[in-house]
Amino acid sequence: MPDTGRDGRLRLLHYASKWMPPAVKGFRPLEYLHEATQECSIIRQSADSLNALNLQVWTSPFSVGKDSLVLSSILDIAHEKSLRSFERIFFHDIMNAVTGIKGLHDLIALELGTRYGSELELLQGAVENIRDIIESHKDFLAVETQEYIREDSSFETLPLLTLLESFCQAFNAGGRKQLVLDSASPNISVCSDVRLVQRILVNMIKNALEASRAGDVVRLGCLAAPDGGVTFWVQNPSVMAQETRLRVFEKGFSTKGRGRGFGTYGMRLFAETCLGGHIRFTSEPGQGTVFSLDLPAGPGTCC
């Protein structure tokens, strides 16, 4: 029988288990069928109302003795579908607003660029930072909901690191810390989703700068991996506390206060879910903290 539960969602909770005894000899999955999950939309009409149901249907076949059965679960996902729709509208509208601000900046720069060059440069940096934050959240939600479409391209490590060294100076308030590209880093050709690789590395650099003190040096670089892949790394001289090390990839955990704590979790999510890579770190006295992104060797050709 359907069970609405406390949150009002419609669930048909594994109804086969309602009548099955605690232990059934010979319980085994059917060899010729497989577990599946799909979404289903149903229009429900009564005498005085019309409702649309958005359902997620999960099924798993199994057999008991000679009987072939299917275990099913139905979940009402109307709230999640509506939320995703509102998120798309929100991101679309706010990106349009940012684009409008950028266009206004460009018009002002044509007239007042010589008088307010430094101020307009700061404004442009702020606009680009807002755009990057919005795109980062869009990517995060797309990956979590398994809607992100990976787009591989060929790029080289040194041009990317040089770009990040310059771009991330915007996060170095007052230039009180040094951001330096390691001169020993090789130039390696990589085939991967450069958008996500850049997003991961920017987050690493931001965290390293925030964890550093005035006068500290934050280094970034790369090295060739033994398996033919590449490892990007970012190092800062600070050392994380034991609790932070244990919880660093925990979703929602942050040393910066409530409402934070998605950065390192997001890095790991992007790397492992989309790139087939791995995020790791070390944090030891005398060596500081080093976050690394290991990427596997890409395909021979990259479209």
DSSP states along 149-188: ----EEEEHHHHHHHHHHHGGGGSGGG-SEEEE-TT----
Task: Please give the full DSSP string across 56-112, using - where no structure is assigned.
Answer: EEEEEEEEETTEEEEEEEEEE-HHHHHHHHHHHHHHHHHHHHHHHHHHHHHHHHHHH
Q: Looking at residue 258, what is its pLDDT?
A: 55
Q: Would you kindly state where each structural domain of the chain is located, as residue ranges?
A: 16-76, 80-144, 153-295
CA dist., res. 177 & res. 262, Å (int): 24
Divide the 303 residues of the chain into consecutive groups of 10 and give the mean pLDDT of each group.
43 42 47 75 80 86 84 85 80 86 88 82 81 83 83 94 90 84 95 93 92 93 92 96 87 65 81 93 94 83 57
Q: Looking at residue 276, what is its pLDDT?
A: 92
Q: Looking at residue 180, what is its pLDDT?
A: 95
CA dist., res. 234 & res. 280, Å (int): 11
Q: Looking at residue 23, what is its pLDDT?
A: 45
Q: Looking at residue 282, what is its pLDDT?
A: 95
* Secondary structure class of 199 (helix, strand, coil): helix
Q: Looking at residue 1, what is its pLDDT?
A: 40
Fold of 153-295: Heat Shock Protein 90 (3.30.565)
Q: Are 298 and 152 in contact (CB under 8 A)?
A: yes
CA dist., res. 51 & res. 14, Å (int): 25
